[in-house]
Structure 1
Amino acid sequence: MQYDSEYLLVLTTCPSKEEASALARTLVEQKLAACVQISAPITSCYSWDGKVCEEQEFSLQIKCLAACYDALQQAVIASHPYEVPELIAVPVSQGLPAYLEWIKENSQS
């Protein structure tokens, strides 16, 4: 997938803090992301298999290079417990130049 921006903020969720931490660590260790922030528990209300569900989840905010997205997507799919995980990429249009450079230095391209 092509993006106009060199940098992405990618969002996903996990059902437990342990699974969120394991996924975050995998992405950072493989240099697919420079940083992954894990939120406190959130409540998600969603439709699945014709039912309205409400579950506790942990949100992950992943900072990476757009060039890493395809490999990052494959890593998430391979290790994520959900049949269809949330995976949304938002282009970063602006940011502190030193922070963006840090993302570049800590992600494979």
Structure 2
Amino acid sequence: MPNDVVIAQTTSDNEDLAKSLARGAVESKLAAGVHIDAPITAYYWWEGQIEAAQEWRISYMTTVDRLAALEAWVHERHPYDVPQWITLPVTGGSETYLSWVAEERASG
């Protein structure tokens, strides 16, 4: 169902890894589609000091029932000690697009 669609996000400091995490999730049928944002600058606390890094944000379009498997898949392949992993509920959007995401995950 379209209301089961969620967006899950992580980041990578390596563009090739970001592409690998994106393509692999689609090939594994864990996400219907993935977007990689242009490099962003991240500031964060790490081990008692402020760090700055160039990162690529990876956004996975998936469904609630595939979310746990996607999270495990990403964490197995992600080199960060504490990779960002957040999920965003999709509360609306194009019915056609949301149906496509749901149908793609149902066939996986």
Q: TM-score, normalised by structure 2?
A: 0.92
> Deviations 1:58-98 (Å, cap 9, x if unpaired)?
01111100111100110011001111100000111111111
Alignment of 1:10 onto 2:12: no
Alignment-derived partner of residue 68 in structure 2 = 70
In the TM superposition, structure 1's runs of 4+ consecutive aligned residues that sit over 4 Å from their partners are: none
Q: Decide which structure has greater helix share.
A: 2
Secondary structure of the structure 2 residue equivalent to 1:106 = helix
Q: TM-score, normalised by structure 1?
A: 0.91
Alignment-derived partner of residue 104 in structure 1 = 102
Secondary structure of the structure 2 residue equivalent to 1:26 = helix
Number of residue pairs matched? 105
Identical columns (%): 37
Alignment-derived partner of residue 91 in structure 1 = 89
Structure 1 residues 46-85: aligned runs within 5 Å: 46-85=44-83
Structure 2: gaps of 5 or more residues? none
Cα RMSD of the aligned pairs, angstroms, is 1.1
